[in-house]
Amino acid sequence: MSIRLYHNPRCSKSREALALLRGRGVEPQIVEYLKDAPTTAELERLLKQLDLEPRQLMRRGEAIYKELDLDRPAVSRAALIDALAANPILIERPIAISGERAVIGRPPQKVLELL
């Protein structure tokens, strides 16, 4: 089974999701998305897999979310995706992907749905 994990090693939830997968014998392909930010095309694909809109993938408590005033309804979908690509700290984590399925690991146990 192939699982790709968008991971932030500084995040306890992300580390917990990784440990859960490894505890089940799954070694995911780890993407440290803060170092290797997804492109807008990758984000579009990820949003489709998650069946979410860009704001639903955003960490609204991050300072940059407020600084960029991303809560305004007038901000376009494309602008939100551009903000996610330019500021990957805004991306909710962890995200696990297997084939065409993806889940946000909140709580971390959600990643087990892909097994």
Tell me which of 4, 11, 44, 106 is the catalytic residue: 11
- 22 labelled catalytic: no
What pLDDT is recorded for position 20?
97
CA distances from residue 15 to 9, 68, 97 in whole angstroms, order as listed: 6, 28, 16
Domains of the chain (ranges, CATH numbers): 1-33+93-115 (3.40.30.10), 39-90 (no CATH)
Handedness of CA 11, 40, 67, 56 (dihedral sign): negative
pTM of the model: 0.93
| pLDDT digits 0-9 by tens, 38-90 | 999 999 999 999 999 999 999 999 999 999 999 999 999 999 999 999 999 99
| pLDDT digits 0-9 by tens, 95-106 | 999 999 999 999
